[in-house]
Amino acid sequence: MLNVPDFENELWRLRLDSWRILYAIAEADMVVGVVAVRKRPPYDYGDLERLIKNLQ
């Protein structure tokens, strides 16, 4: 789980070879949503703040 302050849902990442899949879990709504799929390298989570703002 990724520690993201002021984000009410759980944010997780899944590593799949050189890919990173970021997804959020809203337990209250019983929903799992894919936030982003990024290739690594060069992905360094630099846009994580922007992605979180888009979810809220």
| Domain residue ranges of the chain, discontinuous segments joined by + | 10-55
What backbone phi and psi angles, to 5 degrees, belong to 23? -140, 155
Residue 53: which pLDDT band, with cuts at 50, 70 and 90?
confident
Find, among 18, 20, 1, 22, the residue nearest to 10 by Cα.
1
* pLDDT at res. 54: 81
* SS3 label, residue 31: strand
pLDDT tens digits, 3-40:
777 777 889 999 999 999 999 998 888 989 999 999 98
* pLDDT at res. 1: 78
Q: In Å, how far from its chain's centre is CA 49?
A: 10
| DSSP H/E element including 14 | strand 10-16
